[in-house]
């Protein structure tokens, strides 16, 4: 598996609009797009910093994974994503090594990236997203 960079850090928030005030006005890091991913019941906003990004995640329904996360743990870091050059190959390698996966096949995430999640029990309690960008 060829891990390239930390792609982004996902932060669960109740309101992207409210959260952007801090990131943009206080830190000067500007959002380069808000997108809804209906399949995942989430709205996302990406804030680029050099080779990585901060991803703000807002649930679009009470039963979305992000809304449930906030209800249980409050707002905060939701996941870390690392970029790989071949997601299918990375998943096959992890599966062969017996690593517990949430997604055994890629799906499409925000920005059209191919994504898959590793179960937090396999990675020390961290929800790890693997992503491939074209």
What residues pair up with 132 in beta bridges, in sequence order?
Answer: 114
- What domains can be seen in the chain, in order of their start residue? 3-132 (3.10.180.10)
The CA-CA-CA angle for residues 89, 90, 91, to 5°, reads 90
Question: Is the pTM of the predicted complex or chain greater than 0.85?
Answer: yes
CA distance 23 to 3: 28
- pLDDT tens series, the chain, 134 aa: 899 999 999 999 999 999 999 999 999 999 998 999 999 999 999 999 999 999 999 999 999 999 999 999 999 999 999 999 999 999 999 999 999 999 999 999 998 999 999 999 999 999 999 999 98
Quote the distance between the C-alpha of residue 14 and its chain's center.
16
Q: How far apart are alpha carbons 7 and 17 in whole angstroms?
A: 22
User: 3-state DSSP helix/strand/coil percent for the chain, to nearest 5?
Assistant: 30, 40, 30
């Amino acid at each position: 598996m060829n891990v390239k960079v930390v792609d982004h850090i996902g932060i669960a928030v109740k309101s992207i609009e409210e959260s952007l005030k801090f990131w943009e006005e206080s830190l000067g890091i500007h959002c380069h797009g808000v997108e809804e991913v209906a399949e995942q019941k989430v709205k996302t906003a990406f804030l680029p910093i050099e080779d990585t990004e901060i991803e703000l995640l807002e649930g679009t329904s009470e039963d979305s994974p992000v809304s449930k996360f906030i209800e249980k743990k409050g707002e905060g870091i939701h996941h870390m994503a690392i970029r790989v050059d071949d997601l299918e190959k990375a998943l096959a390698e992890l599966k062969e090594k017996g690593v517990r996966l949430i997604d055994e096949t890629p799906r499409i995430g925000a920005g059209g990236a191919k994504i898959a999640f590793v179960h937090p029990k396999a990675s020390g309690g961290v929800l790890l997203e693997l992503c491939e960008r074209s």
